[in-house]
Structure 1
Amino acid sequence: MGRNLKNALIAFVVPLPSILFYKFFLSNYNHHNNHLIWSWCNNHPLLLANILFFFNVNVLFWIISLIQSSNWMIDVYWTVIPVLLVHYFESHPSSQFDLWRSRVVVVLTWVWAIRLTHNYFRREKWQWGAREDWRFTDLARQYGKHWWWASFFAVYLIQQVFLIGVCLPIYIVHVVNKPLNMWDFVAIVVCLSGIVIAYFADTQLYTFVSKNEKLKELGKPLVPNLDEGLWYYSRHPNYFGEQLWWWGLAIFAWNLGCTWAFVGALVNTLCLAYVTVLVERNMLKSEYRVEAYKMYQKRTSVWVPWFKSSSNQVPKEKAS
């Protein structure tokens, strides 16, 4: 069996423990709802989600990563887990919600997940587990022989904090039953805007990287920097779009009286701010792009698309 097929099979099989346990809970709760275990599962849906995440993702994914010497799978499941969570919260016996709001959030979550999953596999040339995130590789070098245990915390446990945190609005939507109002439509617009912006930004980046790969194969000079389309107005429009999605999702929860639900989006934004610094430092490691990228940094907004700075304005270089 080829590596690609083997990794695909692992990725499809690995969430089954949580899915089968939840299906077992649903079928048994309907007939034995006074049983201590099933009663607890019914009364604590958020805690149950965290327990399943801990054992099925943190522990099982970590063990697989030690066997394969790669943490590739968590990137794939960053796009899948919100979809699993939205259906978990929607179908949980203790849920109560406005049907239309739930349907909208379910559809939006699927659209977001499909876009991000498509971008991931397009970037990875449709391979399963061909490589892990470069940030994990850098951390592995830093931790050395301690990486085997440190990766459990640095890669997996931290993902639980982020993913459950940013998905709290999905939980709130399914435990508060209030009619739709104007703010729901504002949330829809913000979420869709984020998805669309991220899609076009990632597509423009993919096109740019693909052209540079062809230039490299032909032995021609590489274009040092992407400074067209959305990337003309922002250094990280894909990050901006992704943040719009999570903040739009938080508006749904805020509208239902849960202001604290913004905490997840805020923590995720702060984390992405740190990632932005790491990405830009990495960009400056390539000598052929240092000068162009430093100028790009001076003239272009970091996240929010905006007009070029009037200072240090120079004509754009044409791609050769």
Structure 2
Amino acid sequence: MGSGTAVSNMKNAILAFLVPLPSILFYLSFLSATNGSVADPKSPSFTSTVWTWCYHYPLLLANVLFFFNVNVLFWVIGLIQSSHWMIDPYWTVIPVMLVHYYSAHPLAQYHCWRSRIVILLTWVWSIRLIHNYFRREKWQWGVREDWRFTDMSHQYGSHWWWVSFFSIYVPQQLFLMGLSLPFYVIHSVNQPLSIWDLLATIVCVSGIVIAYFADTQLHNFVSRNNKLKGQGKPVVPVLDNGLWYYSRHPNYFGEQLWWWGLVVFTWNLGHGWTVIGALANTMCLAYVTKLVENRMLSQDNRAEAYRLYQRTTSVWVPWFKSSPLGLKSKNV
């Protein structure tokens, strides 16, 4: 790593640590001011009115903080840097911040062990995902943005500066706030633990473990191919061993299990409506899956092998191999 790259890496790291401070400081000020109670309505002031609103509407407050601190601030930083890289690592951080936000809110009421289990699971999920992100980025901050954002910037050209706000950040709020709805419900309902909490925990842990091994196998595959390419040798066109032997996207499957496991927690608490976040994310991942596979098919050295892989391997849910239609006809 050159000195210029090292300086840029350090600047981006410092920026990433400083950028959530407005929301954190505002929330700490709110907690300090209310001290677990509503401001006195007999002596209203602008500040007390704000704190009272924050007290009564925790879900709306979370969305307001997200809008200004993530949508607006991240977008402005992205325009200045000509790269919208920051939302990727923060996808793994924001759920952790939200689960602590909901658990610390003065109106929160919950079963302490359910809360502790969910908070611990969220930290484990986040650490796994942030580790995978920086491992993929070679432990550097802000080297590149998501390839889909880059493709869209080419597509929209001079309009990208404002389109990026609505195509990157607004959807991020909808998805992340929707996916994090179980955190809100878990810290709004106090019911005894049941067998459903155990089932939810098993589903969440299974998702984290599957995603970890799938991402590790993918990382090792990419690393080996990069090494082969550096040696001037032909690369392996398709990863089809390990979990990838049974599923074309086991990492996506694991990620889905994690979010649906959180829904099981809230379904048992009588708030099945929280399924909307996981369902929307599943639909989004279905679209992302199509984009990824089209990208693979657009590469001449991989297209034929990947088409065979598509015909024989399950898309998401790990399952046994099926025989390609071509091979079946030859055996008739």
Regarding TM over 0.5, the answer is yes
For residues 133-177 of structure 1, what are the alpha-carbon distances to aligned partners after superposition, in whole Å with 9 as ceiling and x for unaligned? 000001111111000000001010110000000000011000001
Equivalent residue number for residue 209 of structure 2: 196
Equivalent residue number for residue 33 of structure 1: 39
Equivalent residue number for residue 317 of structure 1: none
For residues 97-116 of structure 1, what are the alpha-carbon distances to aligned partners after superposition, in whole Å with 9 as ceiling and x for unaligned? 00000000000000000000
User: Sequence identity of aligned pairs in percent?
Assistant: 68
Residues 299, 313 of structure 1: 8 Å contact kept:
no
CA–CA distance in structure 2, aligned partners of residues 216 and 33 of structure 1: 65
Equivalent residue number for residue 149 of structure 2: 136
Unmatched runs of 5 consecutive residues or more in structure 2: 1-5, 41-47, 328-332
How many pairs align? 314
Aligned pair 1:249/2:287, yes or no? no
Aligned to 2:275, the other structure's residue is in SS state: helix
Equivalent residue number for residue 45 of structure 2: none
CA–CA distance in structure 1, aligned partners of residues 182 and 38 of structure 2: 30
Residues 38, 55 of structure 2: 8 Å contact kept:
no
TM-score (norm 1): 0.97
CA–CA distance in structure 2, aligned partners of residues 247 and 209 of structure 1: 29
Given the alignment, which residue of 15, 18, 22 partners 2:20?
A: 15
Given the alignment, which residue of 160, 180, 188 partners 1:147?
A: 160
The range that moved more, 282-291 or 29-38, is: 29-38
CA–CA distance in structure 2, aligned partners of residues 293 and 284 of structure 1: 7
Output aligned runs, 1:54-69, within 5 Å: 54-69=67-82
Rg bigger for which structure? Answer: 2
CA–CA distance in structure 2, aligned partners of residues 88 and 217 of structure 1: 47
Alpha carbons of structure 1 residues 313 and 241: separation in structure 2 relative to 1, 3 Å: farther
Letter in 2 for 1:5: M
For residues 44-93 of structure 1, what are the alpha-carbon distances to aligned partners after superposition, in whole Å with 9 as ceiling and x for unaligned? 00000000000000000000000000000000100000000000000000
CA–CA distance in structure 2, aligned partners of residues 266 and 274 of structure 1: 13
TM-score (norm 2): 0.93
Alpha carbons of structure 1 residues 129 and 118: separation in structure 2 relative to 1, 3 Å: same
Equivalent residue number for residue 175 of structure 2: 162
Deviation at residue 311 of structure 1 after TM alignment: 3.3
Output aligned runs, 1:203-242, within 5 Å: 203-242=216-255
Deviation at residue 20 of structure 1 after TM alignment: 0.2
CA–CA distance in structure 2, aligned partners of residues 6 and 313 of structure 1: 54
Residues 101, 180 of structure 1: 8 Å contact kept:
yes
Letter in 2 for 1:81: I
Aligned to 1:2, the other structure's residue is in SS state: helix
Equivalent residue number for residue 90 of structure 2: 77
4+ runs deviating over 6 angstroms: none
Deviation at residue 33 of structure 1 after TM alignment: 2.3
For residues 218-261 of structure 1, what are the alpha-carbon distances to aligned partners after superposition, in whole Å with 9 as ceiling and x for unaligned? 00001000000000000000000000000001111111101111
Letter in 1 for 2:19: V
CA–CA distance in structure 1, aligned partners of residues 326 and 214 of structure 2: 23
CA–CA distance in structure 2, aligned partners of residues 87 and 259 of structure 1: 22
CA–CA distance in structure 2, aligned partners of residues 90 and 290 of structure 1: 49
For residues 168-196 of structure 1, what are the alpha-carbon distances to aligned partners after superposition, in whole Å with 9 as ceiling and x for unaligned? 00110000010100100000000000000
CA–CA distance in structure 2, aligned partners of residues 95 and 267 of structure 1: 26
Deviation at residue 313 of structure 1 after TM alignment: 8.0
